[in-house]
Amino acid sequence: MDTTTYDVIIIGAGPVGENVADRVTQGGLSAAIVERELVGGECSYWACIPTKALLRSGAAFRAARDVPGAREALTGGLDVAAVLGRRDAFAAHWKDQNQVSWLDQAGISLYRGQGRINSTRTVEVTGDDGATTVLTARHAVVIATGSGALVPDIAGLREAEPWTNREAAAAAAVPDRLAILGGGAVAAEMATAFAGLGASVTMLVRDGVLPRAEPFAGDLVVESLRDAGVTVRLGTEATSVTREADGTVRISLTDGEQIEADELLVATGRVPNTQDVGLDAVGLTPRAWLEVDDTLRVLAADGAPIGGGWLYAAGDVNQRVLLTHQGKYQARAVGDVIVARAKGEPVQDHQWGRHVATADQRAVPQVVFTEPEIASVGLTAAAAAATGMRIRVIDQDLGAVTGSALHADGYRGQARMVVDEERRVIVGFTLAGPDVAELLHAATIAVVGEVPLDRLWHAVPAFPTTSEVWLRLLEAYGR
């Protein structure tokens, strides 16, 4: 049994773990990272990157279709093989040599295998061959193992071998009939992608499409999906699932009806990948989400940092925000915290200090790459009102903005600004429309920076762009 000591040990080599390791290494500490699958993690191979590659070709096709002159040049539909081939290239054909090479160049040690905490600042790594290596951390251990797909307890579902986001993102072929359980971002995006690739798609949705977004966002996406031929069944639940000998999946619904499909995608939520990382060795429950403070230290049941503060958790496992960019933000924060504490420097724990992850609470940006795209940051109107804040909601038809009308004939979309009336600052912003994702960062800066509306009048949007929506919203708000 080999034993090696580093300043910091990270369990999980996805984007979050990689960024923690990079941050502490740049801060002068040594780092080892443990990974049981592919270096690069869920985002690189089964989530953000390959799914957006699947979606982009359809979005480009629709954009051309909506502009006269380009529309007439279209002579067919999407080339499915080319779309899947582009997806494969962006997923690096599910090989991680480039990511491993980056770790080497950054001076980060990689240990392949299952990492488990077995005592204070100690991680045991079991390789595929059964050999074990014990790693000891001088300063910190960081859990960055992400999350996996939730498969609900529906009779026969697991036995039917449904798709999760992984199988959907890496599908080698497009099924003729695809059923989807769920109405969140993964469900809506994959319905958009596979309908565009020629599948007959049925969504079985219990709680609404994009239920955490502003209501108009989900309504626009449902309308668009139905226009694309997707069957969206709202208020629907499955009671049992079977896969027949010929491969057909049969889904029984609460109303007694049965749906048949060639594949069934389950997109009903996520669970933490903490089932086998040694949580029991530090008094925590395996398979549980990890509670953390704003410096990402893992907390015990009594609210105190585990072991005085050597154990951290970043990314999905702490359940703050299950988004890659937000996990990377946490990684930068926790990396700086660990370096500061290792060097005996004070941790800047005030609201906007670089050592805290406060944006997780009220300034989270997110894009859902459906048709139309849904881009949002901060609080919805309902969430803001629930805090007791006195708010004012301003809506604007995006299609009435000159830049949008030039962007595409018949452009349809909406923007919403949620204002805290006491401070006269924006606390929430949502855009729904074609290609609105690239407009989101301006809103994120306004929310995070708490820019007064009076000051925003001097941020003049270029004409004729869709960004002119900012002027229209301010005009509607008034001086």
Residue 196 lies in a domain: yes
286 lies in the same domain as 353: yes
254 lies in the same domain as 275: no
The Cα–Cα gap between 177 and 195 comes to 10
387 lies in the same domain as 469: yes
300 lies in the same domain as 314: yes
Q: Tens of pLDDT along 82-140?
A: 999 999 999 999 999 999 999 999 999 999 999 999 999 999 999 999 999 999 999 99
Instruction: Identify the pLDDT of residue 360.
Output: 84
Residue 455: CATH number of its domain: 3.30.390.30
Domain boundary among 330, 359, 388: 359
pLDDT of 350 above 60: no
Residue 84 lies in a domain: no
408 lies in the same domain as 339: no
Element of type H or E holding 218: helix 215-227
139 lies in the same domain as 276: yes
291 lies in the same domain as 338: yes
Residue in 284, 341, 278, 339 with CA at minimum distance from that of residue 309: 341
pLDDT of 1 above 60: no
Q: Are strands 231-234 and 2-11 parallel, antiparallel or unpaired?
A: unpaired
Question: What pLDDT band is residue 349 in, cutting at 50, 70 and 90?
Answer: low
Q: Are strands 391-397 and 414-420 parallel, antiparallel or unpaired?
A: antiparallel
The DSSP secondary-structure symbol of 31 reads E
100 lies in the same domain as 166: no
299 lies in the same domain as 440: no
Residue 61 lies in a domain: no
Question: What pLDDT band is residue 2 in, cutting at 50, 70 and 90?
Answer: low
Question: What pLDDT band is residue 347 in, cutting at 50, 70 and 90?
Answer: confident
Q: Tens of pLDDT along 322-346?
A: 999 999 999 999 999 999 999 998 8
Residue in 4, 42, 10, 2 with CA at minimum distance from that of residue 108: 10
- Name which residue leads in pLDDT, 352 or 7: 7
Q: Tens of pLDDT along 169-216?
A: 999 999 999 999 999 999 999 999 999 999 999 999 999 999 999 999
pLDDT of 354 above 80: no
Residue 67 lies in a domain: no
Domain with 390, as residue range(s), is 372-477
pLDDT of 351 above 80: no
262 lies in the same domain as 278: no
Residue 275 lies in a domain: yes
Q: Tens of pLDDT along 231-258?
A: 999 999 999 999 999 999 999 999 999 9
pLDDT of 3 above 80: no
Residue 366 lies in a domain: no
7 lies in the same domain as 142: yes
Q: How much is the mean pLDDT over the chain?
A: 95
Taking the CA atoms of residue 90, residue 92, residue 96 and residue 99 in that order, the dihedral angle to the nearest 10 degrees is: -40
CA distances from 400 to 357, 396, 464 (A): 38, 8, 12
436 lies in the same domain as 323: no
Q: Tens of pLDDT along 134-154?
A: 999 999 999 999 999 999 999
Q: How many domains does the chain have?
A: 3
Residue 242: CATH number of its domain: 3.50.50.60
Residue 462 lies in a domain: yes
Domain boundary among 315, 331, 359: 359
Instruction: Identify the pLDDT of residue 356.
Output: 79
| 258: amino acid identity, one letter | Q
Instruction: Identify the pLDDT of residue 362.
Output: 85
Q: Tens of pLDDT along 18-56?
A: 999 999 999 999 999 999 999 999 999 999 999 999 999
Beta strand ranges found along 45-155 (DSSP E): 109-112, 114-119, 122-126, 132-143, 147-149
CB 263 within 8 A of CB 199: no
Domain boundary among 245, 268, 291: 268
Q: Left (φ > 0), alpha (ψ -120 to 50) or beta: where does 94 sit? A: left
Instruction: Identify the pLDDT of residue 358.
Output: 82
Residue 74 lies in a domain: no
